[in-house]
A and B are shown apart, each in its own frame.
Chain A
Amino acid sequence: MLEPNATEHETFGVLAEFPTAEALIDATKAAREAGYRQIDAYTPFPVEDVWKALEVKDNRVLWLTLAGGVLGAAGGYGLQVYTNLAYPIIVGSRPLVAPQAFMLITFEMMVLGAVLAGIFGMLVLNRLPRLNHPVFDAEHFGFGGKDRFFLIVFGNDPKFDEQSVRGFFDASGASGIQTIEHAEEPQ
């Protein structure tokens, strides 16, 4: 899902605040039912039911981890095979390519590849680090005060209309409904 950009969409989105995670979950479900698709929620801690309600099914992190693991293992094993053949040292006529002795480094490289791919993949897919973001301009937004739960309908939603989104939030018991403008973006 792409967030709206300043050239094509006039407003960034409409943000609303909910007092509890349960209220946010209900509102997210209602927003999906109302036909909004370009939506996101902000919570101070991971709430599984929220991303389930958003119907986010993104398993790319897991696939990346798997790919990283396979590549790491292949690279680790390949490195050992290659170096042993490139500079053969035969001791007591033992085999040059000894899978048993190579397994440990293969395992460690698999772990390293998997974890690096998983974690950096997660950051890249999340477009992080990104130190500034339009929602930071919203009132009450952030983790400074008491825990708050937000739902946003982005400006690039096909059904986006500022007044009707505000109306929807009003009906779903939100407080502090605000329109978010685009922040300055790097060129």
Chain B
Amino acid sequence: MAQETQGAEGTQRLERGEHITREITRIPQRFPPERVWLVCFAASLCLLALFAVSAFVLFRNGVGMWGNNIPVNWGLAISNYIFFVGIGHAGTLISAMLLILNEHWRNALNRFAEAMTLVAVICAGLYPILHLGRYWRFYWMAPYPNTMDLWPQFKSPLTWDFFAVLTYLIVSLLFWYIGIVPDLATMRDRSKKRRGQVLYGIFALGWRGSARHWQRWNQAYRVTAAIAVPLVVSVHSEISLLFAAGPIAGWTSTVFPPYFVMGAAFSGFAVVSMIAIVLRHAFGLHDVVTDRHLDLLAKLLLACGLMTSFGYVAEAFDALYSGEDYDVQTLVDRLSGQYAWSYWGAVILNFVPLQLLWWKAVRQKPVVLFVVGGCVVVGMWLERYMLLVTTLYRDYLVSSYGEYHASFWEWSLFAGMLGVFFTPFLLFVRYLPMISAFEIKEALFEDRGERKGKAGGASVHA
């Protein structure tokens, strides 16, 4: 009797797994919302063209095209850089951290979250080069033997940054890639057209699902995940050191690394929620990305938001407790100075709509979650802008006070950068399996027999 029910459940599980595989692998094959995709893709290509024009103008005329100057010499380029890296971190965290915690619900989200990480890191990586002025010498950051016998200054956070972001890019790419190989093999075997068979086939590396391969793959995948989590923390801590290692009032604070890491995760989870909502709506993936997934994402968002808000409090406390005149002055400038709109904008957009997520009914409403996510993205963008500008525009010497206003070309480059973000992401959505089908099946198998044991049961992961 027990054997029979087990058998029936096994068949049901197999059918469910097959249904999900078909649902996911069908998307790249017969893309249902082709027209909507084309419109989005055309728009993002326009933005990409705008990026090319803005970069060309910048390279021709130099950074004098921009509004940044002494004392505010970082401007939008660097605040956007931090914004994009920060978004990227959520993809790694959601995928790697939840993998090592064995949280199966990640399987519906990890693939596209990691793809988002990749494109975000590429956007971020471009900014420092564009901001460099002498962009043709960006490779001077790398230690290579040269006739001048010169080396990078390894005690500078700028060099740390180069190593951190490059490592992060390579690790994210490899982690994403070995995670997609088994699904590429599925695509290879399901493609009806020669071109698909060849292209998916090459990138699937001849994956045949051998148990001996899976065993090593599993070790490599999990150990990479375990390494990726501290990597995220190190990368964004390092970015905060770009600020904190300098003797600027309002930046030299030990609260910066955790404050930055939490803020990064916060903004990134907001973007992941927004992408999840859009994709599930566009492709009707309601049975894969369920309401429960949105609920969990919203909880993560709420938790990270509250931790980020603690960073705000700690930062203000730090300035007041130090009693340093310049630190207190910077705090006052933030609260009531010329750029107070960026401070209050960040506080309000980050933390006020967020409080709605205390209610479960709200968490499961995609539209509300999307709007809250959007507010957080804008709020966190303002936070980076605020941290940069409010600190730099009035430094120690009154004679060097100055203002910063982004020029047209900075805004156009930012808009263009969204094209750099969306173009590869849309191509990913169009041509690759955007949800990890084999990991969902793995989770279904591992959860056999404990359907009612865990909260939410089978709907958690599938």
A residues apposed to B, CB below 8 Å: 1, 19-22, 40-48, 50-51, 54, 56, 58-62, 65, 69, 76, 79-80, 83-84, 86-87, 89, 98, 101-102, 104-105, 107-109, 111-112, 114-116, 118-119, 121-123, 125-126, 128-133, 135-136, 141-144, 146-147
Contacts and interface: CB of A to CB of B under 8 A. Distances in A.
Contacts of A118: 219-220, 223-224
A82 B344 CA distance: 48
Given A21-B445, A80-B154, A108-B163, A119 B216 contact: no
Interface of B: 6, 10-11, 14, 17-18, 21, 143, 149-155, 159-160, 163-164, 167, 170-171, 174-175, 178, 182, 185-186, 188-190, 201-202, 205-220, 223-224, 227-228, 230-231, 234, 238, 241, 438-439, 441-442, 445-446
Contact of B216 (A58, A102, A115): A58
A87 B171 contact: no
A112 B170 contact: yes
Given A54-B211, A104-B238, A122-B217, A98 B174 contact: no
A20 B10 contact: yes
Contacts of A69: 227
A138 B78 CA distance: 56
B189 A122 contact: no
A61 B209 contact: no
The 3 A-B residue pairs whose C-beta atoms are closest, nearest first, are: A83-B151, A144-B189, A122-B220
A46 B170 contact: no
A51 B212 contact: yes
Contact of A65 (B14, B18, B223, B231): B223
Given A115-B227, A142-B189, A87 B151 contact: yes
B76 to A, nearest CB: 26
B214 A109 contact: no
A43 B224 contact: no
A56 B441 contact: no
A62 B190 contact: no
B171 A41 contact: no
A62 B155 contact: no
Contacts of A46: 214-215, 217-218, 438, 442
B174 A115 contact: yes
B243 to A, nearest CB: 15
Nearest to B436: A45
A42 B149 contact: no
A51 B214 contact: yes
A101 B390 CA distance: 28
B108 to A, nearest CB: 15
B17 A147 contact: yes
Given A83-B143, A146-B14, A147-B17, 17 more contacts: A19-B14, A20-B14, A40-B212, A43-B214, A44-B186, A45-B182, A47-B211, A51-B215, A54-B212, A83-B154, A102-B155, A108-B164, A118-B224, A122-B178, A129-B206, A131-B201, A131-B206
